[in-house]
Chain A
Amino acid sequence: MTTTIDKLWRTICGSADLVKDSGISALLANEAGNEEQIAIFHLPNSEEKIYAVGNYDPIGKANVLYRGIVGSIDDEPVVASPLYKQHFSLKTGQCLQEEHRIAVYPIRIENEQVQVFY
């Protein structure tokens, strides 16, 4: 039995909570009681400036991606898993070294509020 809930832009935190060139994690909870962990990265020098992806590292099998170092590989913004160092694209969620893909979430900053669409 699944309840479908309409997705909408929901506020996660204030933009002051972001850490430049680094990540924080957040818990997405909806009315249906589902919970998901995401990693939010703030890269002011990159095109999109802010990204949200799943926090679960499918290779290391732990919720740690927000603690990875961010940067770029061939101009693609990436996070490196802090466990085994594979890179995941922050735009597509694709792992650059292995056949894995993590979820990506639409994210924006509105009136100094960080909002995710879920």
Chain B
Amino acid sequence: MSTDKQLLKKFKVVVVGNGMVGHHFVEEMAQNTDYDITVLSAESRLAYDRVHLSEYFGGKTAEDLAMTTPEHYEELGVNFKTNAKVTAIDKVAKFVSTQSGETYHYDKLVLATGSYPFVPPIPGKDQDHCLVYRTIDDLEDIAASAKVSKVGVVIGGGLLGLEAANAIKQLGLKTHVVEFAPQLMGVQIDGGGGRLLRQKIEDLGVQVHTSKATSVIEKGNTSRYKLCFSDDTELETDLILFSAGIRPYDNLAREFDLAMGERGGIVVNNQCQTSDANIYAIGECALWNNFIFGLVAPGYAMAKVAAKHISGEEGEFTGADMSTKLKLMGVEVGSIGDAHGKTEGSLTYTYENQPEGVYKKIVVSADKKALLGAVLIGDTSEYDTLLQYMLNAIELPESPEGLILPMAADKPTLGVDALPDTATICSCHNVTKGDIIAAIDCGAVDVGQVKSGTKAGSGCGGCAALVKSVADNEFEKRGVEVKKDICEHFAYSRRELFDIISVEKIKTFDELLSAHGRGLGCEICKPVAASVLASVWNDYILKKPHLSLQDTNDTYLGNMQKDGTYSVVPRIAGGEITPDKLIVLGEVAKKYNLYTKITGGARVDLFGARVEQLPPIWKELVDAGFETGHAYGKSLRTVKSCVGSTWCRYGVQDSMTMAIDLEHRYKGLRAPHKIKFGVSGCTRECAEAQGKDIGIIATENGWNLFVGGNGGMKPRHGDLFATDLDDDTLVKYVDRILMFYVQTGDRLQRTSVWMDNLEGGLAYLQDVIMKDSLGINDVLEAQMEAIVGTYQCEWKTTIEDPEALKRFQPFVNSDKGDSNIQFVTEREQIRPARGAEKIAVTLIDTMENEIETADAVAEEA
């Protein structure tokens, strides 16, 4: 075998640093197997998502944030070493050496060393509990320090500083922000915006101190430390977090003689080469055109260019847009282009609404034709439109102020038609309008599919509304009517039917059909109507008028299997079961010879019950205290849980009790699709709650709530919805979310797709549920309360009703059973016979058989 030789001959690329950008480079470069790639990382772990670092405090673990794994790198054939800080470069012999003295030869070297937090030279800065905010290790230190602290100060009121302040506030500390400049976020926003932002942040209980220069950190009187400012004022604190800007990690360039910028940064050209053509620099350590890009998207663009250039392809880095939109402690902030109006001759328009806490400014060119920049505080709804005006140099309308004035009657809306195909719609994933059109060309038929196909909107989510309008516009152009009719019998969506049924107080399908539909109905509209009728009126679903509407699974209260038999799935709330009940399950399964399996939902499924066996089986189960598990319905399935703080060494809350309470609260609730819950007792997440529609993860202070996860064909993690909720608030939010979903979800829409299709996505849902932006929360809660209050076990009701039991007789005119249902034995249990295994029998008399087995059991007992 000559692999070793081949490896030796391969062109060697060494990457220093495995941050987000270094990792992106590896992924780009590894597509070409001609190169032997080696990654040297100073950190103890491989690349992780620094942009979402703060979510570490919201319950995400290091694994969740990881962007790759050792296995993945091995698969790509990439060599890597962690804890391997590079300390020297030999440009002539072309090798690098690490702190521990190992050397690595390179043909091309890529520096992706990023940057480090700048800590101002204040005496006392090197003590314990004086921390920074850049790596997972930093966050671990912060969390540890917060446990023994009451007050925290962030030094630096920029974007990152405010994010850090939010984090320590969430950790339960009294929080202060100290800023040297007279305003917050001085880089991105102007004075007016800064004033308003400050007010909003103070309203949230974070104290802001501007124009304060810290001169020394001393031992405190009431707290661990005190900050002494140059104006002779003081501030007591236990924890100090420096966020006073970042500095490029350019020490290697300085020591080994690569060209540097006056104020640091490794100088690169449009191909990202440094002054040594064999050495590239990308990401936050690189200085292009005298500018360092402190965002991840430009870094990714550089990584791509460098990888292309090394493999001999064309490509150029030509700068990047630094506009940002974000939510800081719930305050919307947007900054576009020249936010400070520094361009010669530029003019500004400003709108300020103090009572509502909204500030908006646009900067336009002297001829008022082009948008140069904008600042938005408190309301960023115009961000997308403004950004597109600027990026695509679209000519401004007659009175540009209309773009930001709230009630301007003829508010100019930027038709998405006006955007060129190259317009970036989602900057996180660099998705252009052209990409969205291409996705539709390739068969995407709704916004959800466009999003999942292009990844648009799955980053920060800020572009969700724009993605929707671009896609809808494209669908419309193609004459694809964005049709929501559920079937040929009703020209309405599920949601519209929901409104009709509740507003007009319709109680049966016949009434609905004669008033609003046509024909006889079908297998699509009937179950939808049944589900909506059940949600609105919570009637026993097998009452006569509803009976014919149900899918067979709902009619027979079991899941039909391929041979026409059913599965029997009693509810085992939270997966907790007494030995006695477990024995009952075993006895029933044995008596009726049912195939028995433990499911992923932590309960026991019994398969192979014939229709006529269902009532006696359920009678025994109900008598033993079981109730239906609704495994057949589009309704709550299971609440998966770990044992939590009751048993587990790590648990911080009683996840078991929470899971059982939730399962009993929502059992039987009819929804557009099945609903699954998960509850974990701590962030180790053993119950895999993030893969559920409603995921709940315990924290020291309460519960973190995730919404919209699912397994299945397209697994998805839920989005973090709210943090540190107490029990009551948690249940209240879940009540509202579920009821809102039940009302507005489309047929067979899981919560994830539902949420993605809400205009505004997660943020919109948060507003509806937590801020009551639609003013419907009282109604939602009352509706849920009514449903919870009228729950009944459908099996219990059925076996008590002789009329209903008739349905379970296999033939109206005979007591025989279906001879086509036959089983063979496999691993000591039954399974359906396959075609060739079936024997042509005359009908067996099942009633007799049953009595026989029952007697046999009685004898044994």
A93 at the interface (CB under 8 A from B): no
Stretch at the interface among A1-9, A59-67, A104-112: A59-67
Q: A26-B813, A27-B811, A61-B835 are in contact. Are A80 and B560 (CB under 8 A)?
A: no
B416 at the interface (CB under 8 A from A): no
Q: Is there an interface contact between A62 and B562, defined as CB atoms closer than 8 Å?
A: yes
Q: Is there an interface contact between B820 and A62, defined as CB atoms closer than 8 Å?
A: yes
Q: In B780-830, which residues have CB < 8 Å from any A CB?
A: 806-807, 810-814, 816, 818, 820-821
Q: Is there an interface contact between B521 and A72, defined as CB atoms closer than 8 Å?
A: yes
Find chain B residues with CB under 8 A from A56 CB: 820
Q: Is there an interface contact between B548 and A67, defined as CB atoms closer than 8 Å?
A: no
Q: Is there an interface contact between A12 and B526, defined as CB atoms closer than 8 Å?
A: no
A94 at the interface (CB under 8 A from B): no
B577 at the interface (CB under 8 A from A): no
Report B484-503 CB contacts with A as 1/0, cut-off 8 Å: 00001100000000000000
A30 at the interface (CB under 8 A from B): no
- A24, A29, A72, A78: the one within 8 Å of B812 (CB): A24
Q: Is there an interface contact between A71 and B519, defined as CB atoms closer than 8 Å?
A: yes
Bound: A26/B563 CA distance, A: 18
A100 at the interface (CB under 8 A from B): no
- A17, A37, A64, A71: the one within 8 Å of B521 (CB): A71
Stretch at the interface among B187-195, B549-557, B662-670: B549-557
Q: Is there an interface contact between B520 and A46, defined as CB atoms closer than 8 Å?
A: yes
B564 at the interface (CB under 8 A from A): yes
Q: A43-B520, A69-B523, A71-B519 are in contact. Are A64 and B813 (CB under 8 A)?
A: no
Report A37-75 CB contacts with B as 1/0, cut-off 8 Å: 100100101100000000010001111100111111111
Bound: A111/B455 CA distance, A: 65
Looking at B523, B550, B842, which has the most chain A CB atoms within 10 Å of its CB? B523
Closest to A14 in B: B812
A13 at the interface (CB under 8 A from B): yes
- A12, A64, A71: the one within 8 Å of B560 (CB): A64
- A24, A29, A40, A77: the one within 8 Å of B520 (CB): A77
Q: Is there an interface contact between A72 and B564, defined as CB atoms closer than 8 Å?
A: no
Find chain B residues with CB under 8 A from A37 CB: 811, 818
A92 at the interface (CB under 8 A from B): no
Bound: A74/B835 CA distance, A: 35
B815 CB to closest chain A CB, in angstroms?
10
Q: A27-B814, A68-B552, A70-B548 are in contact. Are A63 and B489 (CB under 8 A)?
A: no
Q: Is there an interface contact between B519 and A75, defined as CB atoms closer than 8 Å?
A: yes
Q: A60-B562, A64-B564, A69-B551 are in contact. Are A85 and B812 (CB under 8 A)?
A: no
Q: Is there an interface contact between B562 and A12, defined as CB atoms closer than 8 Å?
A: no
Closest to A40 in B: B812
Q: A20-B548, A46-B520 are in contact. Are A25 and B820 (CB under 8 A)?
A: no
Q: A43-B520, A45-B520 are in contact. Are A82 and B551 (CB under 8 A)?
A: yes
- B527, B560, B843: the one within 8 Å of A69 (CB): B527
A19 at the interface (CB under 8 A from B): yes
B611 CB to closest chain A CB, in angstroms?
8
Q: A69-B523, A71-B520, A77-B520 are in contact. Are A26 and B547 (CB under 8 A)?
A: no
Q: Is there an interface contact between A25 and B552, defined as CB atoms closer than 8 Å?
A: no
B805 CB to closest chain A CB, in angstroms?
13
Q: Is there an interface contact between A69 and B562, defined as CB atoms closer than 8 Å?
A: no
Find chain A residues with CB under 8 A from B562 CB: 60, 62, 83
Bound: A70/B522 CA distance, A: 6
Find chain A residues with CB under 8 A from B843 CB: 27, 35
Closest to A56 in B: B820
Q: In B50-94, which residues have CB < 8 Å from any A CB?
A: none
Report A80-106 CB contacts with B as 1/0, cut-off 8 Å: 101101000000000000000000000
25 contacts between A and B (CB under 8 A): A12-B813, A13-B813, A19-B548, A20-B544, A21-B548, A25-B811, A27-B811, A27-B843, A33-B842, A37-B818, A40-B812, A43-B520, A62-B563, A63-B820, A67-B560, A68-B523, A69-B549, A69-B552, A71-B519, A71-B521, A71-B523, A71-B525, A80-B522, A82-B552, A83-B562
For the complex with contacts A25-B812, A82-B560, 16 further pairs of A-B residues with Cβ separation under 8 Å are A19-B807, A21-B520, A25-B810, A26-B813, A27-B811, A43-B520, A56-B820, A61-B835, A69-B522, A70-B520, A70-B548, A71-B489, A71-B526, A72-B489, A73-B522, A82-B552
- Chain B contacts to A: CB under 8 angstroms: 488-489, 519-523, 525-527, 544, 547-552, 555-556, 560, 562-564, 806-807, 810-814, 816, 818, 820-821, 835, 842-843
